[in-house]
């Protein structure tokens, strides 16, 4: 069969790793307010970090607000020696630590345990670890720190590394092989869909200290094809009626699963982030249920799955054009079944995954639950990772009771969106019928309409436009909530606000807040934790001085706070800029640890070439840490790929193709990681 390269149009919605910008609302940037808070003179001098620090020190009530809430606790130790930045094709950890890689893409975990090979079939991929490892959690079996189910997301794929047929083609990281007429080979499409989703895999530490896959009935792949149930207010409504599910209760697959969350009842939630790019839609008119998420009139999807040769139903559904007489005869509503949080019970391999629609529909980066309190509502925070999008939280209607809690708690409650006031206070705006302008007169018919149009509802409510909200984390001692804001170079001078204080925000920042009363409350006090950047343009707010060489970083993305309160920060400098220009000083993507009381930050890990570090968790005893390495080698140019010259061969080395994989990190003395 003739295969040639993808034509290579650069549609920003389709490009891997790009976060489409589609917020055209007039919601405030607080530009005027900022001008009052940051001295004009300082801005004109170009010393923005200093200006922001000055504003923080003098005008934000954060310190007093937090102090009033008693929000401080013993600081965690950062007992390791910081490592330098790196541009090497290897993983580096501090002195006294060991690191190895397990579960690379293609590792067999279920079925007949099909061995990894570049020409493995699409069906085999459905029994192997997926690609592009992201959010990860360790579910201990019987409380063990040596035996458990590792559950992880597979955000997307690089088809050129997936298919032996791609060898010799000039494909970049977004490219894929296709036939001369633009159709796609069915098995390649199947392999790409099966390399997405989630892996559930039992791993155990052997007597030699090495972690191995254990064949187990719970090992499971959830993919872009797995049947899933819809639950919550959008389930069974006209929004999600399709040919596959005329009653709107079911859908197939989960895509672009970035970060995750773990519920208080010990299930796993996988986020659906940049799902919009996978859909084509040739309709002349595209309503806000798709347009507000970046789907425009176009006959192309990210990987052209709707052009599979067979025309099989599970592939053509990625064309959302109105082709039938009614929505029950086509897939015009298929995109409305994406953009949710998907609940998976890793301990029950027969359980159908459930899309929990009351948590809202957007580019979910992940979700973080506040510690559950018996008799109190369940609270979960989630960010919408696109430029100028919002931070949300869900508060359950029913109280949490450990003995009976399950996912149905997520089906009734209130979704809120955050507004950050310029004075360091903030409020949660309910996205509920009749509240905050969400009325039929303003175009919101009912709760299902609000939820399927979460972004539009948040626009209406007047939320604060953020610089790409990524992961969140909750400090277990103080209850403070942290969120990474990775960057936003589209924020122009004059559009800054106190919570997003930098125009052309290349490097990102981390915000945190303390809820007033409880996590279920509607008011909070907030501050910035750190403005990321290099030695000239960075500011850890507590520590005061710009970041030193041991701590410079850019584009915070992954975030996790361990049981001792270490704040683990992971970076995702884009493939398009890493190791070039103003980003050169940061080297390859990395992970650092921060002290939440002092603001001190130290670099703990650097990754191989072309990747991002994303996803981190430890075993319950904190003596083994798992960290994911995603898309090594992604910076290989198309011509270099054609010539077989790859910029990374991690983790296998030699001339191997690079593969996403999971790091296992331990201390030589068996101690707690980071202490």
- Residues contributing to the site for Ca ion (CB under 5 A): 258, 557, 572
Nearer to ligand FEO, 16 or 83 (CB): 16
Binding mask 227-256 for ligand FEO (x = CB under 6 A): ------------------------------
**18 is a contact residue toward ligand FEO (CB under 6 A):** no
To 5 degrees, how large is the angle CA 494–CA 15–CA 538?
A: 40
Q: Is 385 in the site for ligand FEO (CB under 6 A)?
A: yes
**Which of 89, 192, 273, 600 is close enough to bind ligand FEO by CB under 6 A?**
273
Out of ligand FEO, Ca ion, none, what residue 458 binds, judged by CB under 5 to 8 A for its kind, is none
**Residue whose CB is less far from Ca ion, 331 or 586:** 586
Rounded least distance, CB 577 to ligand FEO, Å: 15
Task: Work out what residue 273 binds among Ca ion, ligand FEO, none; the CB cut-off runs from 5 to 8 Å by kind.
Answer: ligand FEO
Per CB under 6 A, 386 contacts ligand FEO: no
Alpha carbon of residue 261 to chain centroid: 10
The Cα–Cα gap between 475 and 172 comes to 40
CB of 244 to ligand FEO, least distance (A): 27
> How far is residue 308's CA from residue 314's CA, in Å, rounded to a whole number?
10
User: Closest distance between ligand FEO and the C-beta of residue 365, in Å?
Assistant: 5
Residues 243, 329 contacting (CB under 8 angstroms): yes
Q: How far is the CB of 521 from ligand FEO (least distance, A)?
A: 27
Tokens coding 354: 């459930």
Whose structure tokens read 């005329």? 246
Binding partner of 155, given Ca ion, ligand FEO, none, CB within 5-8 angstroms per partner class = ligand FEO
Residue with tokens 């001339």: 655
Interaction between residue 467 and ligand FEO (CB under 6 A): no
| Cα 510 from Cα 72, distance rounded (Å) | 18
Tokens for 441?
């007169």
Residue 600 contacts ligand FEO per CB under 6 A: no
Angle, CA 414 vertex, CA 463 and CA 410 arms, to 5°: 125
Burial of 311 (0-12, 13-18, 19+ CB in 10 A): exposed
Phi, psi values for residue 583, rounded to 5°:
-95, -5
Among 497, 527, 534, 557, binds ligand FEO (CB under 6 A): 557
3-state secondary structure of 629: strand
| CA-based radius of gyration for the chain | 23
What does the alpha-carbon distance between residue 151 and residue 143 come to, in Å, rounded to a whole number? 16
CB of 221 to ligand FEO, least distance (A): 20
- Residue closer to ligand FEO by CB (options 258, 370) is 258
Residue 86 CB, shortest distance to Ca ion, in Å, is 20
CA distance 132 to 104: 9
- CB nearer to Ca ion: pick between 572 and 575: 572
Q: Of 589 and 618, which has the nearer Cβ to ligand FEO?
A: 589
Q: Which 428-447 residues touch ligand FEO, going by CB under 6 A?
A: none
Query: Which of 272, 422, 449, 470 forms a contact with ligand FEO (CB under 6 A)?
Result: 470
Of 258 and 429, the one with the shorter C-beta distance to ligand FEO is 258
Judged by CB under 6 A, the number of residues near ligand FEO is: 7
φ and ψ at residue 380, rounded to 5 degrees = -135, 135
Partner in contact with 18, chosen from ligand FEO, Ca ion, none, beta carbon below 5 to 8 Å by kind: none
Residue 507 and residue 518 in contact, taking contact as beta carbons nearer than 8 Å? no
Is the Cβ of residue 155 or residue 330 nearer to ligand FEO in the bound state?
155
Applying CB under 6 A, among 365, 411, 467, 575 the residue interacting with ligand FEO is: 365
Q: In terms of Cα–Cα distance, which of 362, 363, 345 is closest to 354?
A: 345
CB of 650 to ligand FEO, least distance (A): 20
Binding of ligand FEO at residue 155 (CB under 6 A)?
yes
Q: Report the b/e string of 426-444 with b at 16+ CB within 10 A.
A: bbbbbbbeebbebeeeeeb
Residue with Cβ nearer ligand FEO (192 or 470): 470
Per the CB < 8 A criterion, the answer to whether 499 and 526 are in contact is: yes
Instruction: Return the bridge partners of 281, or none.
Output: 298
Q: Minimal CB distance to Ca ion: which residue? A: 572
**Residue with the CB atom nearest ligand FEO in the bound state:** 258
Q: Which is nearer to Ca ion, 178 or 500 (CB)?
A: 500
Residue closer to ligand FEO, measured from CB, 271 or 308: 271
* CA-closest candidate to residue 150, choices 201, 223, 206: 201
Cβ within 8 Å of residue 247, ≥6 positions away? 236, 241
Q: How far apart are the first and last CA of the chain?
A: 56
- Residue 459 interface partner, choices ligand FEO, Ca ion, none, CB cut-off 5-8 Å depending on type: none
Instruction: Output the DSSP codes for 411-424.
Output: GSEEEEEEEE-TTS
- Closest distance to ligand FEO from the beta carbon of 595 (Å): 25
Half-sphere exposure of residue 272: CA atoms within 13 angstroms, side-chain side: 27
Q: Rule CB under 6 A: is residue 258 a binding residue for ligand FEO?
A: yes
Chain contacts with ligand FEO (rule: CB under 6 A): 155, 258, 273, 365, 385, 470, 557
């Amino acid at each position: 069969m003739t295969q040639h390269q993808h034509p290579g149009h650069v549609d920003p919605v389709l490009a891997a790793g790009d976060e489409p910008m589609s917020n055209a609302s007039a919601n405030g940037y607080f530009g005027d307010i900022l001008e009052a808070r940051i001295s004009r003179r300082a801005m004109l001098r170009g010393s923005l970090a200093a200006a922001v620090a000055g504003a923080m020190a003098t005008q934000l009530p954060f310190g007093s607000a937090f102090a009033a809430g008693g929000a401080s606790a013993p600081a965690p130790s950062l007992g390791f020696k910081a490592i330098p930045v790196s541009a090497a094709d290897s993983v580096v950890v501090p002195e006294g630590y060991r690191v190895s890689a397990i579960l690379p893409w293609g590792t067999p975990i279920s079925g007949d345990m099909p061995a990894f090979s570049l020409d493995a079939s699409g069906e085999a991929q459905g029994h192997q670890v997926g690609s592009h490892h992201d959010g990860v959690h360790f579910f201990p079996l019987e409380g063990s720190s040596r035996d458990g189910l590792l559950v992880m997301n597979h955000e997307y794929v690089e088809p050129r590394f997936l298919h032996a047929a791609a060898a010799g083609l000039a494909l970049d990281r977004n490219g894929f092989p296709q036939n001369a007429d633009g159709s796609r080979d069915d098995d390649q499409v199947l392999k790409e869909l099966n390399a997405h989703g989630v892996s559930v895999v039992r791993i155990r530490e052997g007597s030699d200290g090495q972690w191995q896959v254990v064949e187990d009935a719970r090992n499971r792949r959830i993919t872009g094809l797995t049947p899933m149930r819809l639950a919550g207010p959008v389930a069974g409504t006209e929004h999600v009626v399709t040919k596959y599910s005329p009653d709107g209760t079911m859908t197939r697959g989960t895509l672009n699963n970035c970060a995750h969350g773990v519920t208080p009842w010990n299930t796993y939630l996988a986020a659906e982030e940049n799902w919009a790019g996978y859909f084509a839609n040739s309709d002349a008119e595209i309503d806000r249920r798709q347009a507000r998420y970046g789907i425009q009139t176009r006959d192309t999807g990210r990987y052209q799955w709707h052009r599979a040769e067979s025309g099989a139903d599970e592939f053509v559904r990625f064309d959302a054009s109105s082709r039938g007489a009614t929505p029950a005869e086509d897939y015009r509503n298929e995109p409305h079944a994406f953009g949710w949080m998907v609940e998976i019970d890793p301990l029950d391999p027969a359980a159908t995954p459930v899309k929990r629609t009351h948590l809202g529909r957007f580019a979910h980066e992940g979700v973080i639950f506040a510690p559950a309190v018996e008799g109190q509502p369940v609270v979960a925070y989630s960010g919408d990772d696109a430029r100028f999008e919002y931070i949300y939280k869900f508060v359950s209607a029913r109280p949490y009771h450990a003995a009976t809690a399950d996912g149905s708690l997520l089906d009734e409650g209130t979704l809120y969106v955050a507004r950050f006031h310029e004075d360091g206070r903030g409020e949660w705006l309910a996205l509920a019928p009749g509240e905050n302008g969400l009325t039929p007169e303003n175009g919101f018919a009912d709760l299902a309409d609000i939820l399927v149009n979460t972004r539009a509802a948040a626009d209406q409510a007047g939320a604060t436009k953020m610089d790409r909200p990524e992961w969140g984390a909750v400090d277990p001692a103080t209850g403070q909530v942290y969120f990474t804001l990775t960057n936003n170079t589209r924020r122009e001078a004059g559009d800054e606000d106190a919570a997003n204080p930098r125009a052309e925000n290349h490097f990102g920042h981390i915000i945190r807040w303390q809820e007033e009363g409880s996590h279920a409350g509607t008011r909070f006090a907030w501050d910035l934790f750190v403005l990321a950047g290099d030695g000239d343009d960075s500011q850890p707010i507590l520590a005061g001085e710009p970041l030193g060489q041991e701590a410079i970083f850019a584009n915070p993305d992954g975030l996790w706070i361990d049981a001792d309160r270490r704040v683990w920060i992971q970076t995702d400098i884009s493939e398009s800029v890493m190791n070039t220009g103003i980003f050169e000083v940061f080297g390859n993507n990395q992970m650092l640890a921060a002290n939440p009381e002092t603001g001190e930050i130290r670099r703990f890990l650097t990754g191989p070439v072309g990747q991002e570090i994303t996803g981190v968790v430890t075993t319950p005893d904190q003596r083994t840490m798992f960290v994911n390495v995603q898309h090594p080698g992604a910076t290989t140019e198309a011509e270099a790929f054609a010539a077989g010259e790859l910029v990374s061969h991690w983790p296998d080395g030699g001339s191997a193709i690079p593969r996403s994989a999971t790091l296992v990190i331990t201390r030589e003395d068996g101690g707690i990681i980071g202490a």
